[in-house]
Every structure is written in C-alpha cells, then in structure tokens.
Amino acid sequence: MHHSRYLENLHRPNYYVILLHCPRQHSFIQGPLGGTANTESIQAAIAKEETKEKAFLETLSKKLRDYKIGGKVKSVSGKAEEIIVKVAKDENVSFIVIGCRGKSKVRRTLMGSVTDYVIHHSHVPVFLCRHDRS
C-alpha cells in the first residue's frame, strides 16, 4: 500500500504530515434542475454523504495516530488538482505525495490529469506512489 511506501522511503520522525482529501461533488448535486427528485431525498442523500465523509476523515486521523505521525487531516472541496497545489502553497509543504491505483482507462485518464496538473504547477517535488496489486 502507498502509505507503507511513504513510511519506508520518505517519512522522518520530525515530519508534519497533512492528509488532504478532496471530496467529489455527486450527481445529485451536479445534475440538472427539475426531474423527479424531491427536496427530502436530496437532503437524505447529502446527509448520508456527510456521514460517510466524516467517517472517512476519522479513519485518516486514526492512521496518523496509529503510526504515531504528527500531522492533520484537511478536507477541501473543489477541483482536486487545483486544491492540492493551493493547499501545498498555503501550508508551505516540502513535497507532495499522491497515491494512485490501477483502475479503468477512464479512472487512469482522470488520475493522470490530476497528477499531470500537480506535477506541472507544484512549487515542490511530487512523489507518485502506486498501490500494490496484491
């Protein structure tokens, strides 16, 4: 997994790690106005997503604690590639680590565009860590 590669190859005990999560907007938010969806079902869907988001962020925080890594978790909505570069500048980071998995061609294309953007716009080195396929 990518976190073990980071720990083995890049991490130092005095590093402060920022785990950045860029949640996607979902189709019920992005979809056209109108249709058959009612306000209650949209609110229920949003509440469900918020609950999942909170649980995921807590999982990330737990990983920091479990590995005794100093740092914090941030969640910022927007275009992932732009958010990554902006947060890296705002937080004055030393480098960026991006994880990726072998996925469908569409997913690889999307991940490639985010990675490509970050590599070309980052003011610091960018490390790409692939997930093990095992």
**pTM of the prediction?**
0.74
Per-residue pLDDT, 1: 43
- 18-38 pLDDT tens trace: 999 998 765 555 455 555 557
Residue whose token pair is 């978790």: 73
Class of domain 2-130: alpha beta
CB 72 within 8 A of CB 18: yes
Residue 33 buriedness (CB in 10 A; 0-12 / 13-18 / 19+): exposed
The rounded distance, in Å, linking the Cα atoms of 83 and 66 is 27
Ramachandran sector of residue 92 (left: φ over 0; alpha: ψ -120 to 50; beta: rest): left
- 43-92 pLDDT tens trace: 888 888 889 999 999 999 999 999 999 999 999 989 999 999 999 999 99
